[in-house]
Amino acid sequence: MNEKDMLEMISPWISDEEIFRLNAEHYVETTQCFDRIFTDGIGSDVYESGDTHGSPRVYRDFISRVGSAPFGTDRILRQIASEYVAAHGYRNVVPHHEAPDKQTALLARDLLSHMPPGYRLYLGQSGAEAVEAGIKFTDAARYRNNQGQRTKFIAMHGAFHGRTLGALSFSSNIVHRRGYRVAINDVISIPYPAAHPYFVWTLDRSKSPHEKSSYAIRYFDFSTYTPEQYRKEHLDPLLDQIETISTLIVEDGVQGEGGMNVGRTDLLQELYGFCRQHGIFVMLDAVQSGIGRTGKMFAFEYANFSPDIVTLAKALSDGLPQSATICKKELAPERSGRHSNTNGGNPFISLVSRAVLSEIKRRNLLERVSFNGDVLRRVLKEDFADRYDVVHSARNLGYMGGIEFWNPDTRQPDPTLRDAVAKHGLENGLLLLGCGISGIRIMPPLTTSVEALVTGLNALAYCVQKARDEVARKRATLPV
């Protein structure tokens, strides 16, 4: 390839209109939600190309690529990656994909330094794959220990652990789940012990997941519960089948896709303690909440708890295809060939993951996110929950927050209003993404300053007011 062809390959000229046309013609429908082309950015700001909507615009990023861009668009990570690729290339040059490599060896050291002793690491390529590995590890451990009768999983209403069939088995969301075959039938769903009231999709697992009637929107409020109440209502009923339960799988600290539902620490401790008491493995999915998002490296640190398995992806490698399944030594595969991955542990991506961990420490981001998270919590309460009747509740843990909208007249979730808020956000330079039934995520890059955070929140308040007035006008014209 000559230099001209190479430059054309790297930086092709193509209009925004042509990009949208090719996407519409060739791609399956996924979760594309913007009618903009974003070309670059810096920190907590993202730049639009300007081809479609006139001059380029700057957008405040409250999404962070669903948590997979911990520093937003970061020049330091870009420089590290560029220099490594220039010197070594982007792929493993050793003759076997799992041959020892210095970058993956150092990543294991760096990542496991955040865990107590006695853990092992498996590297994959996606959050769903990390969860699938965890499922296999717990299954194999039960088999080795002559506990083959322990096949059931405990999952949460509103759970999201990925879109592969095994991971999807734990979901209760009608959009994600309905129409797909069930890979794991032995799943028990219980309510997530959030610190605030919330609405959530539930699935009646005694019925077919293909029937619309199997799904329902339910409301839970554990804000005044004691740990004993939660245990009595939702854990003790499991005692008659306790010897058949293998593993609890739950999102670490915050339910992300299910609505940004923040767990109550004492209730989570009760849940984890129940599992420990009865020999149930605890697998915590930190794919979205891990790597500093909550103000701790892992949210389970707030509960002073050490899980049997932790799954990671997204922010771990700044959005590049790498995931991690961290498990206690006794749950790791017992022999070669039991579990593997062709491209897991790519040295280049492992370098990026090491750089992410290093930069979090160098920039004191855990402390900053914890402090700024307190500011976010105060603003969410005073400027949103206390101010707008259409805000059902607002919550956060660090830089993982959400606002849930409802119709105060019908007292039901209001996804129409939520969608209108996101639309006005895009029109006013703020990138927003929905979650749950009627929620909006607030997930700025970890590097976002207090000033940038507050500016974005002021814009969000404006969008809520605009959306509220717009939806109210439309509903006023509807026939009674």
Residue-level pLDDT at 16:
87
**pLDDT at residue 109 is higher than 70:** yes
pLDDT in tens, 442-455: 999 999 999 999 99
Residue-level pLDDT at 450:
97
Q: How far is CA 449 from CA 62, 71, 375, 454, 458, in A?
A: 12, 11, 11, 9, 14
Residue-level pLDDT at 13:
85
Angle value at C-alpha 462, between 456 and 463, nearest 5 degrees: 90
Angle value at C-alpha 120, between 115 and 126, nearest 5 degrees: 90
168 vs 336, residue with greater confidence: 168
Residue-level pLDDT at 97:
58
pLDDT in tens, 254-268: 999 999 999 999 999
Residue-level pLDDT at 140:
96
Please state which of the ranges 92-96, 200-204, 382-386, 407-411 shows the lowest mean pLDDT. 92-96
Amino acid at 213: S
- Cβ atoms of 201 and 189 closer than 8 Å: no
First-to-last C-alpha distance (Å) of the chain: 67
453: phi then psi, degrees, rounded to nearest 5: -60, -50
Residue-level pLDDT at 306:
97
DSSP state of 28: P
Residue-level pLDDT at 249:
98
Amino acid at 142: R
**pLDDT at residue 93 is higher than 80:** no
Model-wide pTM > 0.75 = yes
- Cβ atoms of 353 and 103 closer than 8 Å: no
Residue-level pLDDT at 480:
67
Amino acid at 416: T
Q: How far is CA 220 from CA 169, 223, 260, in A?
A: 22, 9, 14
pLDDT in tens, 308-364: 999 999 999 999 999 999 999 999 998 888 898 888 888 999 999 999 999 999 999
Whole-number average pLDDT of the chain = 93
Please state which of the ranges 99-108, 278-287, 383-392 shows the lowest mean pLDDT. 99-108
Which residues make Cβ contacts (< 8 Å) with residue 253, sequence separation at least 6? 262, 263, 268, 286, 289, 294, 298, 299, 300, 302, 397, 400
* 427 class by beta-carbon count within 10 Å (0-12 exposed, 13-18 middle, 19+ buried): exposed
pLDDT in tens, 220-248: 999 999 999 999 999 999 999 999 999 99
- For residue 294, the number of C-alpha atoms closer than 13 Å in the C-beta half-sphere is 26
C-alpha–C-alpha distance, residues 155 and 169, integer Å: 9
CA 258 to chain centre: 10
Residue-level pLDDT at 95:
56
| Structural domains present in the chain | 3-75+364-476 (3.90.1150.10), 79-362 (3.40.640.10)
Residue-level pLDDT at 139:
96
